[in-house]
Structure 1
Amino acid sequence: MNLKYAAIAIAVMFATVHAAEEKPKANTQQDRLNKLNGLALGRVIYSGATLIDGTSAAPRSGMTIIVKDDRIEAVLPTTQLTAQQKDGARIVDVAGQYVLPGLIDSHVHYATNPDRPYAEAELKRNIYGGVTGVRDMAGDARELAGLSRDALLNRIPSPDVFYASLVAGPSFFKDPRTVVAALGTQPGTVPWLYAVDDKTKLPLAIAQARGTGATGMKIYANLPGTLVRKLIAEAKSQNFPVWTHMQVYPASPYDSLGATAISHVCMIARHVREQGKTAYGHNGEPSYQGLTAEDPGIKKYIAALAESGTIMDATLSVYKSEGPHCHIELAGDITRAMHKAGIKIIAGTDTDNTGEDAFPVVDHELEKLVKYVGFTPQEAIIAATANAAEALGKQKEFGTLEAGKYANMVFLQRDPLQDIANVRSVILTVKRGHEFARADYKFTPLPVHED
């Protein structure tokens, strides 16, 4: 009997050891899969920062953010942190720092003329400067898909890359930029640069755009108003964000109402002063002398835009204080009136930064929103976080700092609510749980890039 029980005990012991050996293997396999998927692993507690959460709520000092893998698990006062929550977690002391959602540049172009080294350098500058997302407003989707994938898998230091597939009238595809962005193919016939007319099967056109991996569809140029409105309606019926120029030509700015977001605030000024313009182009602009946001034509459009719920991508960075084009002062005046009417504004740049600047160009857009529009620093931050996420259709995933959303955030040394320029006092960027310490960024002037 004793021998029998001894044999059973030995068998149980071996089975237990075998089971104990198998469990770590399963975990190791899952860890490897998670790493292949670019998933940050483990629990990290960022303790003691002043929280600026991406909403209009007042900042809260002494706050802790708990991150599990790539998501925010909890946001709570540091005094409420429990021993159980601390158990097994890596604790990062961020006392005295300011934390806000990762910034989003809502208007970039990294593949109009595909240049991978330049794009990677720009993206690296962005992520180490507090930018966790960019919205690329159309280019070569083959290049953009590769950048987006590598960013998601954390194979390159980069914000998440969200991009557009573009549709326009057939005549637009003589534009040399489209030739470069479709090399090896015929522009106007590929799903990321697609020509549409009144014979196009619009559900298929939207489905093709989605099939490129794009986050949204951009309606660009040389289309009648009836077709613009139909494209917007079809995209929305497929729950696909649709982004347009404010004026597509010959369609009017009113035809773009109802899009998820529209770009370029001064297009309404040009429409008021040049209502007969029928084709896209920057040449021969009218005089804007004496024009303000109080012009009846501008006020009428702002009222319609506010009612539509469409978001405004003002792109103040493209406007200057001199020259024949719409000046930054007028752009700011119109944006101020839009903001006052309740229209949501996002921070898109549509311009390259200088190769010698070590910080993202979106920082300057935020400064312009404060200087020329009269935004408070907090309102400027909302434009580059919560509002930007909504324009992407990703407001449930990021844009504010709250439990369940991706761990996309930036820690600053100085208070950005006192001076918006303090967004450059970056100590640490976190994107989907991955850390990018500013001290690790070795800036070198960016390579020369030609559009």
Structure 2
Amino acid sequence: MTFKKYTAIALALAALHATAHAADEEKPKANTQQARLDKSSGKALGRVIYRGATLIDGTAAAPRADMSIIVSDDRIEAVVPSAQLSDAQKAGARVVDVGGQYVLPGLIDSHVHYATNPDRPYAEAELRRNIYGGVTGVRDMAGDARELAGLSREALLNRIPSPDIFYASLVAGPSFFKDPRTVVAALGTQPGAVPWLYAVDDKTRLPLAVAQARGTGATGLKIYANLPGPLVRKLIAEANSQHFPVWTHMQVYPATPYDSLGATAVSHVCMIARHVREAGKSAYGHGGEPSYEGLTADDPGIRKYIAALVKSGTIMDATLSVYKTDGKHCHIDLAGDITRAMHAAGVKIIAGTDTDNTGDDPYPVLDGELEKLVKYAGFTPQQAITAATANAAEALGMQREFGTLVAGKAANMVFLQRDPLADIANVRSVVLTVKRGREYARADYKFTPLPAHED
């Protein structure tokens, strides 16, 4: 072999060695970059087995004792009887003993308002109380989307202790945007002319209006007030065609409750009572309510609407928490009676609060809504839980993502010390909340009264 050939071979071997060495060094670097990416995304890492709890999965299924939920990163890998855990499943996993506890899907409050009057300290305190109280998702039903987008991102990345936030972009008739709440929620801009608070009329290009609403990062379109029936129906049809959840007041005025049928969900059960007693009401407003004396869910006008609601498949956001016992407005007993009749007829009910909790209560306001569904609407505790889990996820259009505890869905769950099926008030016995695999131990929550807030 000549010196020239030897040199060529040596150089070739050196080049191959250098390439292999570089590749070997690149592997840990790539892994490090991926780890950093996972960390910055807020994604929980690793495998965890929550072993031994009684499973209440968010459906009508009977509870199952001594079950194990295997979580891989932010997803449920498997749900199996503890006795059937294999060595392969246990290998490398952190095991959390939850024997004697009860596990439910993470709860969802389907009607909140955290940015009608943006107040970041209050919102973060309320969100913190929710996540440490077992609430892993909230549906914000209109406010300043700029603020909500920021909160939603911080929650998703686990930079603040918070449920995931799914918010609405609102459309209404032009006359509604004199409402002072819209001025506050659009500060620096013109209410009615921004995509999260948008005025529509018969000249509006509806496909563009819905697309702009989606562009805010919203999860759904809220149809709010002062719109005629034909326009409400067109908005619902356009949102449905774009596969965008559409949420409305049951009655938008002057549109009737029947014009909102076909929406994903409608809010405020007593609006049908007001329609029956005040059919000619033409504009949104809370004042001057009629008498509801003697009215029940058996009224022919209410029964007719319930039948139409069943046929449409629209979900009902009852918001029992907004109805009181003072007799000045729709009474909680009447609201509960109508909700009971809807539920018995086959309407899916979701648990939304639409009311602030007291600042000195360490538990979520959603707990009270669940208690009202049981007390006033005759729900079983299991049916109330379904209203705040599986049904709520469906109203968000995210039933494939969460709402029940099955393999493949996000690891959103809450562990309770006491049986909520024996007493729905036991939803307050929270031990641990898990949201997308991240753990929020109740023992770590240091409650202080919430700051004063005006909506």
TM-score (norm 2): 0.96
Instruction: Please state how far the C-alpha of 1:323 moved relative to its aligned partner.
Output: 3.1
Q: In structure 1, which of residues 76, 89, 93 is the aligned counterpart of residue 97 of structure 2?
A: 93
Give the 3 Å change call, closer, same or farther, for CA 81–18 of structure 1 in structure 2: farther
- The reply to whether residue 65 of structure 1 matches residue 69 of structure 2 is yes
- The reply to whether residue 398 of structure 1 matches residue 402 of structure 2 is yes
Instruction: Please state how far the C-alpha of 1:25 moved relative to its aligned partner.
Output: 2.1
Q: In structure 2, which of residues 330, 334, 339 is the aligned counterpart of residue 330 of structure 1?
A: 334
Give the 3 Å change call, closer, same or farther, for CA 233–406 of structure 1 in structure 2: same
- The reply to whether residue 75 of structure 1 matches residue 98 of structure 2 is no
- The reply to whether residue 245 of structure 1 matches residue 249 of structure 2 is yes
**Aligned residue in 1 for 2:350:** 346
Find the aligned partners of 2:65 and 2:28 in 1 and give their Cα distance.
40
Root-mean-square deviation (CA), in Å?
Answer: 1.9
What do the CA deviations read for 1:306-360 (whole angstroms, capped 9, x no partner)?
A: 0000000000000001131000000000000000000000000000000000000
Give the 3 Å change call, closer, same or farther, for CA 28–304 of structure 1 in structure 2: same
What do the CA deviations read for 1:351-382 (whole angstroms, capped 9, x no partner)?
A: 00000000000000000000000100000000
Find the aligned partners of 1:10 and 1:208 in 2 and give their Cα distance.
59
What do the CA deviations read for 1:117-149 (whole angstroms, capped 9, x no partner)?
A: 000000000000000000000000000000000
What do the CA deviations read for 1:142-177 (whole angstroms, capped 9, x no partner)?
A: 000000000001100000000000000000000000
**Aligned residue in 1 for 2:56:** 52
Q: In structure 1, which of residues 163, 176, 180 is the aligned counterpart of residue 180 of structure 2?
A: 176
| Matched residue type, 2:134 | G
| Matched residue type, 1:377 | P
SS in 2 for 1:357: coil
Find the aligned partners of 2:278 and 2:318 in 1 and give their Cα distance.
20
| Matched residue type, 1:176 | P
Q: In structure 2, which of residues 404, 408, 415 is the aligned counterpart of residue 411 of structure 1?
A: 415
Find the aligned partners of 2:183 and 2:99 in 1 and give their Cα distance.
52
Superposed counterparts of 1:13-412, under 5 Å: 19-412=23-416
SS in 1 for 2:61: coil
SS in 2 for 1:194: strand
SS in 2 for 1:48: strand
Find the aligned partners of 2:84 and 2:21 in 1 and give their Cα distance.
40
- The reply to whether residue 430 of structure 1 matches residue 434 of structure 2 is yes
- The reply to whether residue 444 of structure 1 matches residue 455 of structure 2 is no
Moved more, 19-28 or 48-57: 19-28
Instruction: Please state how far the C-alpha of 1:446 moved relative to its aligned partner.
Output: 0.2
Find the aligned partners of 1:365 and 1:412 in 2 and give their Cα distance.
18
Give the 3 Å change call, closer, same or farther, for CA 85–19 of structure 1 in structure 2: farther
Moved more, 20-29 or 62-71: 20-29
Aligned-pair identity in percent equals 83
User: What number of residue pairs does the alignment pair up?
Assistant: 450
SS in 2 for 1:221: coil
| Matched residue type, 1:83 | D
| Matched residue type, 1:96 | G
| Matched residue type, 1:214 | A
Find the aligned partners of 2:19 and 2:199 in 1 and give their Cα distance.
66
SS in 2 for 1:335: helix
Instruction: Please state how far the C-alpha of 1:259 moved relative to its aligned partner.
Output: 0.3
SS in 2 for 1:332: helix
What do the CA deviations read for 1:248-272 (whole angstroms, capped 9, x no partner)?
A: 0000000000000000000000000
